[in-house]
């Protein structure tokens, strides 16, 4: 969640600020802190300090514009992606520069125009409400799960018949030829069934807890649908390789969540 944004000149004078939450920060303290951090980075480290953990689910992102000698600062939630916040802040600051350079007279900076700048740069970059994202994920995964189960069954039966796997009937053939193929088929089925849904859950869920809960619900639903399908024995593929199924599911969830964090700010 983006909580507040500040634009300061090279002397540490506040040009404009915007608060996005009800709780307001003490600007006098924060502005002095921003300037101190930026100056310390330049003088002591020879580089700009880009982010600082402020505690209590707050972090500071600093973005300087050396040409205009303006410092952009944003306070955001610790779970938000630093690179995403940096890009948004850079774009906001560039629009601010384009609109008010070179004077940056605070009396000539109009709140309505700044609201447009902030709205344009945040458009499409803030997560929808948790309930909306959860419902949307199930609206997508529900029909998809049925199609994936049908696809999994038909592809497996086709491969089984195409390679005439019924010919492996003695013990030696069963363990040296049939079992490796069966393991590969089982693994492929797990990937087909659980990759797209868990990517969707990870991408759309507002947090890890809800994403994991949705993933486990989907696992139970999938096993149940298999038992009531035309080939109920396929359910045992999932049950028999449950540890592998869980590993893949959580891995796909992680990828979806990471990708989502790079595209959206938390509410």
Structural domains of the chain, ranges and CATH numbers in brackets = 2-122 (3.30.450.70), 130-261 (no CATH)
96 to each of 68, 192, 265, how far by Cα in Å?
11, 47, 21
Q: List alpha helices for the chain, DSSP H.
A: 27-40, 82-100, 111-122, 130-162, 171-173, 179-204, 208-227, 235-240, 242-261
| pLDDT over 70 (residue 42) | no
Interatomic CA distance for residues 264 and 205, integer angstroms? 12
Interatomic CA distance for residues 111 and 96, integer angstroms? 11
Report phi then psi at 160, rounded to 5: -60, -45
Q: Are strands 58-65 and 2-9 parallel, antiparallel or unpaired?
A: unpaired
Interatomic CA distance for residues 118 and 106, integer angstroms? 17
- In eight-state DSSP terms, residue 30 is H
Question: Higher pLDDT residue, 92 or 192?
Answer: 92
| pLDDT over 50 (residue 174) | no
The pLDDT-based confidence of 139 (bands split at 50, 70, 90) is very high
| pLDDT over 70 (residue 79) | yes
The pLDDT-based confidence of 26 (bands split at 50, 70, 90) is low
HSE, side-chain direction, 13 A CA sphere, residue 194: 33
**3-state secondary structure at position 175:** helix
Q: Of 3-12, 45-54, 78-87, 176-185, which one has max mean pLDDT?
A: 78-87
Nearest residue to 260 (alpha-carbon basis) of 215, 219, 200, 183:
200
Interatomic CA distance for residues 17 and 6, integer angstroms? 4
| Per-residue confidence (pLDDT) for residue 169, from 0 to 100 | 53
CA quadruple 51, 52, 58, 63: dihedral sign: negative
Kindly report the average pLDDT of the chain as a whole number. Answer: 82
Contact of 59 with 51, CB cutoff 8 Å: yes
- Listed range (83-92, 138-147, 224-233) with the worst mean pLDDT: 224-233
Question: Higher pLDDT residue, 30 or 102?
Answer: 102
Interatomic CA distance for residues 114 and 91, integer angstroms? 13
The pLDDT-based confidence of 179 (bands split at 50, 70, 90) is low
Interatomic CA distance for residues 97 and 253, integer angstroms? 40
- In eight-state DSSP terms, residue 13 is -
- pLDDT above 70 as % of the chain: 85
Rg (CA), the chain: 27
- What average pLDDT does range 210-222 have in this prediction? 91
The pLDDT-based confidence of 234 (bands split at 50, 70, 90) is confident
């Amino acid at each position: 969640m983006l909580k507040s944004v500040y634009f300061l000149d090279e002397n540490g004078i506040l040009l404009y600020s915007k608060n996005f939450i009800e709780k307001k920060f003490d600007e006098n303290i924060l502005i002095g802190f921003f300037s101190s951090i930026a100056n310390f980075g330049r003088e002591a480290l020879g580089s700009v300090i880009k982010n600082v953990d402020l505690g209590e689910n707050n972090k500071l992102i600093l973005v300087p514009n050396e040409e205009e000698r303006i410092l952009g600062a944003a306070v955001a939630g610790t779970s938000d992606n630093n690179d995403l916040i940096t890009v948004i802040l850079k774009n906001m600051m560039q629009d601010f520069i384009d609109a008010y350079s070179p004077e940056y007279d605070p009396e000539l900076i109009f709140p309505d125009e700044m609201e447009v700048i902030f709205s344009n740069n945040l458009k499409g970059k803030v997560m929808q409400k948790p309930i909306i994202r959860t419902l949307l994920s199930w609206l997508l995964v529900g029909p998809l799960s049925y199609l994936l189960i049908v696809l999994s069954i038909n592809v497996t039966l086709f491969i089984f018949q195409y390679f005439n796997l019924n010919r492996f009937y003695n013990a030696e053939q069963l363990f040296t030829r049939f079992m490796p193929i069966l393991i590969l088929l089982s693994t492929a089925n797990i990937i087909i069934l659980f990759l797209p849904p868990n990517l969707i859950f990870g991408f759309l869920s507002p947090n890890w807890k809800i994403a994991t809960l949705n993933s486990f619900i989907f696992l139970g639903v999938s096993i149940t649908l298999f038992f009531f399908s035309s080939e109920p024995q396929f359910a045992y593929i999932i049950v028999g390789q449950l540890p592998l199924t869980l590993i893949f599911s959580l891995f796909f969830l992680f990828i979806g969540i990471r990708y989502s964090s790079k595209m959206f700010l938390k509410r």
